[in-house]
A and B are shown apart, each in its own frame.
Chain A
């Protein structure tokens, strides 16, 4: 079931279009990656979901019905540009933000106690925010984002400012939230983390959505029928042996275990290739090269930019 849906969202600012007819739909209890280069319109879309700004046209649905103002209490938002009141004490501030999200003081205190214990930061409660390091403040912000147990969480670059240990901690928290049924929209430039945690992605470039799909399907779609073979032995004139159906992209004979990359030019089965190679040498490994999200991102965006220029 879709927890959130946006249909044909258009948003224009004076002089430029931020979103032109963008539609996304986010499945419940999944992690949805919202990708795109800087200035593509991601933040505008996120602000529209949070009802900070309204679209010029288009429809928004939350839990299957048109979105209403009160739905913001079911949403938790960690913006990319985030901060806290520097002079305010950590505990007081977390309590204030939780209450703004509609929690009662009592519930907020109880919940905060749980999270502060979980992150082992009880000692910070009475400290002023300006005394905390950037990573510490980010942890507090993470807590204030999830404290009211929203159904939909929106994280915009959640890992900036964290060291690897804390990045891991936050990543695990996000995965656990998903396991408990929370839906997460995740916006980042860090493609390896997208690969690790996202189920579904949408890619926005220059105000338009140019790619949308399950992460494995997207990768499947962009694979180039290229295989990597590692072998032991001698092979004179390899390209001639491969014939016209296969193209030798790379060949590295410098190490003991030699390596080559072969692209299928026509619709051949893997076994055809293996048959040719088996006669030549001993095959150590044979695997298909699946493009990384990073490759997909660069490939799709560059192609799209080229098309727009034409």
Chain B
């Protein structure tokens, strides 16, 4: 409406009074309608005819306002004082039914969950979900039961593992030289009267024995292990820093039928030693006792990675 006002204003400027009246009438629909009704000069009548839509809108607005006021009044009248009319009674009966249904529905919904008011397809869906859930739980139960039985039998497994570990420890102890060992094997005695046998010959002998499957070796009173070394001293051969005394006696546990031929093969250890003016004597035995021990040594840096 204010847009119309600004558009219209230049035309009406020559007659200030009319323009003023027009602007005044625009403020509220009710006021301007009154102005028009009082017949305030021809100009104002012309103005009214120029904007019939605005006038109609104003009238409708007023009617709506009246109706609103009437509606409120009617509501209050209906509420108070209570009147026993046919309409009131009928509406009361229907509202009673509504309240009943409302209460029942609310109670039903809050009473026993979703199942009571649920429709058939919902029930079917719920049933399927429950079936799936029970299936899952059954699977889980089965898995747990098998786990339990595994745990029950694993006490035997643990005992077995312990036994195996002890066996392994004994084997490793033999290899590391921390336990005594006995078994079939040979005794190799090297007698070197001329001092021709050097450390390298003894090392060759040892390697030959190892290659032939020797499991535990003792030279004189020194247990031979992985880090055993020979050195050539000024007056003889040292093994692991100990002076070896003549004759050199190798006590070797292993299969005698492998060990003896390994030493005696042509070009082998025995022949080589004989070239050095030494005598090598191999004697098989069913019981060789390797009783020299090594202290078990905890490694400083290496740790078991298992």
A-B interaction: no
